[in-house]
Structure 1
Amino acid sequence: MFTTLISVAQLQALQTNNTPLAVFDCTFDLMNPSKGKAQYLEQHIAGAQHADLDQHLATHDAHKRVNAGRHPLPKREVFAAWLQSVGLNQDTQVVVYDRNGMNHCGRLWWMLKWCGHDAVAVLDGGLQAWLAANGALASGNSTALDKATHQPGNFVLGEPLLQLVDTATVSMQLHKDTQTLIDARSAPRYRGEVEPFDPVAGHIPGALNRPFNTNLNAQGFFKSADELRAEFADLLGNANPQTVVHHCGSGVSAVPNILAMQIAGLGGTGLYAGSWSEWCNTPELPCEKS
């Protein structure tokens, strides 16, 4: 079972040994939301289905969501129904990837863990690594989405394997040693110099900054466990890794930091899914620039 990363060679082996497998292409473009599906239709790993950040991995229906912000999480029951609809079974090994530096696919990785499914891994290096290895490709919609032959899966919700944290909890724990906030946005956004998406620039007071792409090496793969462990040790100082709560702009690009801490052997950490987009739109909550 693969639970953090999977290499191209490992995925190719799974494709040939009859392992129950589901592959999801999570390519997305925040500035052009329809582009991800278009890129998927043009080219994707053979057999992969498309999981769209706006349509499948978030919801703006107030009755179906668990938080606010720009990309609210659907309730676990709502998400589980979608997983069943795309044929996911309890014994399925899931592999997720994108073309975006393993940023958006992390959302599906985290959501599956949140719903109790541990057998999910991020394809290290993304589609770029698959192309470099001459992996099998397809275009158009996957045959797995053919409604004439497609059967619903038997996926059922399990106990959450990763922690979801809400705005009230983050606010109550602010400046306490029981909570260490890590902001995954770029340094200029963190400092409040620019803000392309949200109405207020800046960051949550006391938050540390580690841009999500810091976790990758020059070749576009995750850094080694030793490298990641050393970098997080430098960032956290005396803070206990188990107190960490990750966030970003809308709860998506925070996930590579969660994954990196798991790769580094630092355990599961919390996700504040509402992130800056919910925080800065909540009256009377403090915001700071630096």
Structure 2
Amino acid sequence: MLFRNFRRNAIGALLSLSLLATVGCGDTVTEQRCTSESQELCEARPLNSTVFITPQQALEYRDAGALVLDARSLEKYEAGHIPGAVHTLGGKEFQDELGLVIPDLVALTETARNLGINNDQKIVVYGDNISSNTGRLFWTLEYLGHGDVYFVIEGYETILAETGEEPATEATVPEKGDFVVALRDSVWASAEEVKEAAEGTKPAILIDTRREGEWYGDEDRGDPRQGAIPNASWYYWENVYDETTGKLRPKDELRAEFESLGLFEEDTLIIPYCQTGVRSTIVYAVFRWLGHNNVKNYDGSWAEWSRDNDLPIVDHEPEASEPTE
């Protein structure tokens, strides 16, 4: 049974029927996909095509009024952060106990507003230099319907080094925002469509972004089943970074690599996944940056897939090395 989607739809339907849950600023839940009575606000804002910005651009956006969100740990934030940045849990504040986006639109809206998120304000997200949490926060905000989110993939230390910005230690307390959640299903992959892709009945490219041990089923993350989703290809998420510099590899280099591996086809749906849809968001963001317009993150990922015995799995065997003389 695809319990995650049942739960998501059931709660959405209850919210739609009630029409009673007030979320502030005069907005009420009127349909499953949105938390406003305004038809205009109930449409996800168009996605920007920029995706990644430089450290210098991040400060320019901040100075022009953008909201800056820090996806690092609270300990690191308190030790020093970009002045004006608001601390977040790296997207975890929007997740349920299994690590998936909660299906409660009112709670999602309230959480976003408490971070200071507004409908018509740019958002800049940053974290550690190689940080899947920052990717998760970036993808979550796009899924919730915001279209003006920008990702500083280089990370906090690089921002300081390249801009000379002096860190702040006093926490930024944001004013409550007015953001209205309007779920963008075009970036959210369901278990049903992943199952269709796994069975070959839906044209799609599945990308497993986990560690090699997880892909082969040797690393136990506490799930009831180990292995991989059938018909998926393995590409470790950290491979998008340069091993020497830790920075994102050049655009043309990454695209050429994905094409050579058969992972980049213009008109084919791309679905990356991992354990709980966190590491896979880096690959999601990279494909968006490369100009692919049909990429979805599988939010449920292995945490959901492994718990549904009706969903198929495959056990991969490591390639045997050639004997040496």
TM-score, normalised with respect to structure 1: 0.83
Report 1:1-290 matches (<5 A).
Answer: 3-16=50-63, 19-27=64-72, 36-53=73-90, 55-60=92-97, 70-75=98-103, 76-99=105-128, 101-133=130-162, 134-144=164-174, 150=175, 152-158=176-182, 160=184, 162-176=186-200, 178-217=203-242, 218-236=244-262, 242-290=268-316
Which is further off, 206-215 or 132-141? 132-141
**3-state SS of 1:246 partner:** strand
CA displacement 1:71-93 (0-9 Å, x = unmatched): 11123443222112222222211
| C-alpha distance in 2 between matches for 1:213 and 1:88 | 29
**Residue 110 of structure 1, CA deviation:** 0.9
- The one-letter amino acid paired with 2:51 is T
Task: Find the counterpart in structure 1 of residue 7 from structure 2.
Answer: none
| C-alpha distance in 2 between matches for 1:230 and 1:89 | 37
**Residue 47 of structure 1, CA deviation:** 1.3
**3-state SS of 1:56 partner:** helix
Number of residue-to-residue matches in the alignment: 265
> Cα RMSD between the aligned structures?
2.3
**3-state SS of 1:81 partner:** helix
Which is further off, 236-245 or 74-83? 236-245
| C-alpha distance in 2 between matches for 1:274 and 1:100 | 25
Change in 2 beyond 3 A, CA 1:86/1:158: same
**Residue 135 of structure 1, CA deviation:** 2.2
**Residue 237 of structure 1, CA deviation:** 5.9
Which is further off, 273-282 or 123-132? 123-132
Q: Runs of 5+ in structure 1 lacking a partner?
A: 28-35, 61-69, 145-149
Q: Runs of 5+ in structure 2 lacking a partner?
A: 1-47, 317-325
Identity %: 25
CA displacement 1:252-271 (0-9 Å, x = unmatched): 11011111111212223011
| C-alpha distance in 1 between matches for 2:85 and 2:49 | 17
Change in 2 beyond 3 A, CA 1:25/1:163: same
CA displacement 1:89-110 (0-9 Å, x = unmatched): 2221111111151311111111
Structure number with bigger Rg: 2
Change in 2 beyond 3 A, CA 1:168/1:15: closer
CA displacement 1:179-210 (0-9 Å, x = unmatched): 22101111221112223343432211121111
